[in-house]
Structure formats: C-alpha cells, structure tokens
Homo-oligomer: A and B are copies of this chain.
Amino acid sequence: MPSPPWFYSGDLLTVEYRTDPARVADLLPAPLSLAEEDPGAVAMIWADWQSCSSSRKELLDPVQSQYKEAFVVVRCSYKGQTFSRCVFIWVDKDFAIGRGLHQGYPKKLGSMWQTRPHAFPQASPSIAPGGMFGASLAAGDRRLADAVVTLREESPTNGFVNANKMAHHRVFPNIDGPGDAFSELISSGAAEFEGGQAWTGDAELNLYDSPNEELTSLPVQEVIGGYFQQIGVKWNGGTSLERLDG
C-alpha cells in the first residue's frame, strides 16, 4: 500500500441525531470523556469515494480507487479539547481497511449504497430543494441501517459532529494472552479540504438490530438534520497524543 498522502474526491450524505449520552460514554475508552456540549450528538455518514495516492495511478484502474463507506461519529473530550471520533465503520475495499488501520478507524467490511446526483434527472435527484437521496448499509447479509434525506436549502455547514479533528486508538492485543502489546491515542484531520455548497434537509434514519453488530447501541432519540456535500480531501498523517500501553 502506498504511503500517505492519500487523496479523496467524494460525496457525503449525513444524518445527525441525538442519543442518550450514557450510550456514547460507553463507547469512549480512557482517557476520553464525553464532550461538554451536546454530548449525545451522533452523525451517521455515507461516503462514495474516489481515492488515490500521490502517483494518481489508481485513478486509471478504478477498481483500486473507488470505494464506499458508512460510519458513525461521536464527539469526545481529551485534555479539555473536543475531538470527533469514529466508533463504527464499514467499507467495501481492502485498501480502505488498510488505510483505516493506519488512521485508527475500526473498519469492517459492509455493503453500502447511496443515491448519486447526476447531470440528467431521468433516474437521479438534483442537488436542489426537494432532491431525495437514499442510503443503506448491510453487513453479514443483514441490513443494519437505511436513510432518506430530502434537501430543503443551502446550509452554512455539513453538520457539526464530524467537524473536529479525530481522536482514535490504535491497538495490538498481546499475542500471548489478555492485554495490549501496543495502544496509542492519535489525532488526525484533513491536511487539505475543499467543499462544495452544503445542503440540509429533513432526514429519516432507521437502525436495525443484528446479533453481530453494536450499531443499535446508539438509538435515534431525535433527528437533528440531514446534509449533503461534495468534497475533496488530502490526508497526510497525524499526531500521537499518548501511549497507553506499558
């Protein structure tokens, strides 16, 4: 796998909602604690990506470049600073799992689909008031979530839950028993970011139980809103905040 920097062009479909903050706290290992403001806020995000390394050669063999993902982000506090944190994430390509290991994303495989805007409306919504975008997530041959966002108006933001730097753990369990051989808290964010006009609107989000997944441990109490934005990103490493092993 080529080393960073890594480059991404893609579309984000986001539903933000509130859950019981105690359920968020259950997912925050030490030394993280709940964010001070709106601690029960959650973002469920679908992303439809094209990506590449510095050589850009993956773009000409797009089986190496395109992938989809769905992920759940909460916020947390570390030494008085608010971070975003991905608590669940599913992707559909192994290169995305590999990059995610580097970045501390706990990636699993899933099947994700998200409606695309297109220049012609015969079988596509428009990025305009009334434009309807659907999305689904499945893993283990079970549907885990689906959503519909109906655009209403332009928005100054693409939501707030995924708007901070990420704080992630990177962990290797011991090979010879319980405990961790390596555990590190790291932070990272986009080295460069360009975003198109964000849109907001009404959102429905359904989460479905699965015996193998924890997604419904963050049930929807109140939908905050839905968002759509097209973005371009460069990621180029992060910072080690703290070693937690030994």
Q: Which residues of A approach B to under 8 Å, CB–CB?
A: 3, 7-10, 49-52, 56, 59-66, 93-94, 97-98, 101-104, 108-109, 111, 113-116, 118-125, 132, 134-136, 138, 140-143, 146, 148, 170, 172-178, 181-182, 184, 186, 188, 192, 194, 196, 211-212, 230-234, 237-240
Contact B132–A196 (Cβ < 8 Å): no
Contact B140–A141 (Cβ < 8 Å): no
Contact B181–A134 (Cβ < 8 Å): no
Contact B172–A170 (Cβ < 8 Å): yes
Contact B170–A181 (Cβ < 8 Å): yes
Find chain B residues with CB under 8 A from A196 CB.
Answer: 119-120
Contact A120–B237 (Cβ < 8 Å): no
Name which residue of chain B comes closest to A110, CB basis: B94
Q: So how many copies of this chain end up in the complex?
A: 4
Given contacts A120-B231, A132-B59, A194-B120, contact A240 B141 (CB under 8 A): no
A177 to chain B, nearest CB (A): 6
A208 to chain B, nearest CB (A): 9
Name which residue of chain B comes closest to A239, CB basis: B176
> A182 contacts which of B3, B181, B186 (Cβ < 8 Å)?
B181
A73 and B96 CA atoms in complex are apart in Å by 25
> A114 contacts which of B62, B98, B237 (Cβ < 8 Å)?
B62
A8 and B66 CA atoms in complex are apart in Å by 21
Find chain B residues with CB under 8 A from A233 CB.
Answer: 122
A238 and B174 CA atoms in complex are apart in Å by 9
> A59 contacts which of B101, B125, B175 (Cβ < 8 Å)?
B125
Find chain B residues with CB under 8 A from A118 CB.
Answer: 9-10, 50, 230, 232
A176 to chain B, nearest CB (A): 5
Name which residue of chain B comes closest to A170, CB basis: B172
Contact B61–A134 (Cβ < 8 Å): yes
A50 to chain B, nearest CB (A): 5
Contact A59–B123 (Cβ < 8 Å): yes
Find chain B residues with CB under 8 A from A173 CB.
Answer: 3, 102
